[in-house]
Every structure is written in structure tokens, then in C-alpha cells.
Amino acid sequence: MKARIRAVRPWLPLALLLLVLVLSCVAQAAVNEQANGGGRRRRRSPRRSTAAADGMVPITLLKSAAEKGAVCMDGTPPAYHLDPGSGAGNNSWIVNLEGGGWCNNARTCKFRTRTRHGSSDYMERHITFSGIMSASPASNPDFYSWNRVKIRYCDSASFAGDNFDKGTGLYFRGQRIWDAAIQHLLSIGMASADQVLLTGCSAGGLAAILHCDQFSAFFAGKNTTVKCLADAGLFLDALDVSGGRSLRSYYGEIVAMQEVARNLPPSCTGHLDATSCFFPQNVIDSIKTPIFLLNAAYDAWQIEESLAPNRADPSGAWRACKYNRSACDASQIKFLQSFRDQMVASVKAFSGSRSNGLFINSCFAHCQSELPATWNDAPGSPAVQNKGIAKSVGDWYFGRAEVKAIDCPYPCDNTCRHII
């Protein structure tokens, strides 16, 4: 008797394969959710990495900070990335404050809660460290083996606000994030450091200036070398192309909304209004901790957003120039040279201190310490008097040489990496 043989439906193997793939994805999603904290549904970001990659540094969510009210604007916990030190750098630390602009009203701040600058839900789970944060001895010879930490930026007031807006439900808790993050780092080993360096770029550079002496105070009474580096943080209270003060108006709204005044250096607020004390030019002379200012004399962000923002240039006369220096006419170059002169004048007293360092080059750039091409991609990286940025910062930090480098006016410098 012949056995009855059923025909195998041609779609069945494919269906089984799809079922296996779906179950595998669900299982992996559960693993990822548990690794990321679990317990609450997380919003997805196309920038998020869910798997470690070579040379990338994983995120740590500082969940305990929430108990102290130290949260991002949407109430999520703050975060940092740590690449541990080794060898000779095992007991030295770089703390880098991430930059990323600011917000000055409910609409713009609410928008930022849907980005990594307002919510840790949207922060990349792994990031690459480069420039001064690099682990490469070739590109970062002075600091590559240190403990290197990046504190993520999600308060939008340079880690200086302390307020809660009931109407919008927004938390402005930058100062609490700062305190909680530093206290945590101290508890995991930084308290016994021999050497520490606080750094930051852009809004993070401003934060490094505003918090420099606060950072030093954490090491009071200890034999720790404490210094600060502000990259592209020298924002000037300058006239814009219409004769107004666009950045002062913007800063005034930030300071008021986030109640920044109480956290600004008392040495400044004792004789100036809070908005003035959000400008580094009014703070740097009274900072007691050694600090290095790295800045482009023709800071690209300040040209685009402070000197010639659209509201100050309704006719569009500056539109081409602010995005392409070769499109600037003679009168516009003269205006930019005046801005450069104001920057040089603002650091005159600051540069008189032997403990401070300075590198102002004549480039159309913004942030030069965290990019390989501008930090130490020699030959071809920016230099003043034949000395590049990495060498200048290292010489200053370790006391190998006094560094007070101010470039000649544009277009004299042919080493620049212009971005406009």
C-alpha cells in the first residue's frame, strides 16, 4: 500500500523563516531595552546606536541624579561617556562639557526636548572621541592616556540654569546636572586625581569658563593640578550689522527664563547685571583658576548668528558674506576686522597673567580642539608662530612654555581650516 504524500506548500518555508526573524528581532529589542534602563517606553532616534563598535565610547545614564532634580529639559536623566585612562594617565582626568547652543523661549526649548540637546532619550548610545579626547598617541600625545569624560548637554543654558516652568513642564536644571555629574565622577576616582582639565566647545566652552572656579573648588586642599580650557567660548557682547545687540537680547532671555543669575560668578554679578555676566569678556579677568582660551578671531557661529543674524539683516546684504568669506566686500571685511579687534582687546588683561594661556588664530572657524584636522593633524593643521593647537595647549598645561598666541589679521594665516 503506497503511503499518501502531501504536497508541501511553496510559501511555508518562507513563512517559517520570516517568523524566526521576527522572533529574533523581538528578543534583541528586549535585550536592548533592558540595557538602556527598561521600565519605560523609549522614543526612537535615528542617531542612536544599540551595539558597541570599535573605538566608540558607551553612554552612562546618571539615573541617581534625578533624585536631586538634576534632569534634562524633558525630565530624563543626564548622561556622560567615559573612556578610562591607562598607564601614566591612569590618575589624570579630562572632563569635557558638550556644547550645542541654547534656547531662549518655550517654543525653541520645547523643540529641543525632541533632540539630544534636551533629552537623554535621543542621545547616541555610543560616540567617537577625537581631537583632545582621542585615545591616539599620535594625534593626542599629551592627553591620550587620561581618563576622558564627556558630559552630555541637555539643559540649553551652558549648565547654569536652575528653574522649572510649570506652564510648559520644562526643567532647566543645568547647574544641578553639573553638580551631580562632577560629584559622581569624584566618587568613582577623580577625587584622587593628580591632574584634571575641564574643557568645552561653544556653549560647552562658555560653560567651562563659568564653572572653572567651581571645578577647582572640588579639589580644594588637595595636591591636584586644576586647569580649564574654553574652545570657541569667547562670545562677545558686540554690535550687530544693524547697530543692535542681537546676542545680548538672546542671552537676556536665556538668563531670565532659566534663572541663571544665581549660578554666575559672584565676582561679576557683584557689579554687573546677570546678562552681562553670561558674556565671558566680563568674567575671564576674575577667574582664579588657570584657563586657556582657544578661539577663532572670526568665529563662524558669531558671524552668522550674532553679528549678521537674519533679523539684523532684513535686506540680505550679508547673506552671501556670512557663509562665504570670499563673497565679502571691503566694507564687510572692515566690519569683521573690527570684531577681531574687539576680541583681542577683550583678552588684554587676561593675557597679563602668566598662568593663563591664549591661542587666537585668524580663521573663519568654530571649535578647533575636538576635530583631528584642527587639533593635531600636522602637517596642515592651524598654527600661530609655527606652533599648532595641541602643542600650544600641552605646553601651557604642563608648564613647558608660556603660550600667548594672537594671530595677525585675516588673510595673513595660510594654515587655517576655514569653515565659511
Taking the C-alpha atoms of residue 251 and residue 257, their distance in angstroms, rounded to an integer, is 10
Task: Say yes or no to pLDDT of 308 above 80.
Answer: yes
Residue 317 lies in a domain: yes
pLDDT tens digits, one per residue of 232-245: 999 999 999 999 99
Q: Kindly indicate the confidence band of residue 380, based on its pLDDT and cuts at 50, 70 and 90.
A: confident
CATH code, 337:
3.40.50.1820
Q: Which helix (H) or strand (E) holds 230?
A: strand 225-231
- Whether 97 maps to a domain, the answer reads yes
Average pLDDT along the chain: 89
Asked if the structure places residue 213 within a domain, the reply is yes
The rounded distance, in Å, linking the Cα atoms of 120 and 303 is 30
Q: Apex CA 80: angle with CA 48 and CA 83, to 5°?
A: 95
CA distance 372 to 131: 5
> What nine digits make up the cell of 334?
572692515
Percent of the chain with pLDDT over 90: 86
Q: Where are the alpha helices (DSSP H) in 43-173?
A: 106-112
- Residue 226 grid cell: 586644576
| Averaged pLDDT for residues 29-56 | 38
Of 45 and 188, more confident: 188
Convert 391-413 to b/e letters by CB count within 10 Å (16 or more is b): bbbbbbbeeeeebbbbbeebeeb
Residues 6+ apart with CB under 8 A from 122: 43, 45, 47, 48, 114, 115, 116
Which structural domain, as residue segments, surrounds residue 124? 55-406
| pLDDT for res 50 | 32
Query: Residue 17 pLDDT more than 50?
Result: no
Instruction: Specify whether the CB–CB gap between 212 and 228 falls below 8 A.
Output: yes
Helix, strand, coil % over all residues of the chain, rounded to 5: 40, 15, 45
DSSP string computed for 253-306: HHHHHHT-GGGS-HHHHTTS-TTGGGSGGGTGGG--S-EEEEEETT-HHHIIII
Count of structural domains within the chain: 1
- Is 50 within a domain? no
**Nearest residue to 257 via CA among 108, 379, 99:** 108
Nearest by Cα to 294 from 129, 398, 405: 405
- Condensed to tens digits (0 to 9), the pLDDT of residues 210-223 reads 999 999 999 999 99
Query: Is the residue at 373 inside a domain?
Result: yes
Strand runs labelled E in 101-155: 126-128, 147-151
- Is 76 within the bounds of a domain? yes
Tens of pLDDT, residues 318-338: 999 999 999 999 999 999 999
- Answer whether residue 278 is part of any domain: yes
Asked whether residue 340 is domain-assigned, the answer is yes
Tell me, rounded to whole angstroms, the distance of Cα 274 from its chain centroid: 22
Helix extents (H) in 192-233: 203-210, 212-217
Question: Stretch 231-260: mean pLDDT, rounded?
Answer: 98
Question: For residue range 92-103, what is the model confidence (pLDDT) as tens digits?
Answer: 999 999 999 999
- How far, CA to CA in Å, does 262 sit from each of 235, 247, 325, 385? 20, 21, 40, 41
What are the residues facing 198 on neighbouring strands? 95, 228
Residues annotated as catalytic (active site), given as ranges:
202, 299, 366
Q: What element of type H or E holds 383?
A: strand 383-384
For residue 60, which of 76, 79, 77 has the smallest C-alpha distance? 79
User: What is the arithmetic mean of pLDDT over 344-359?
Assistant: 98
**Cis amide prior to 409 (ω within 30 degrees):** no
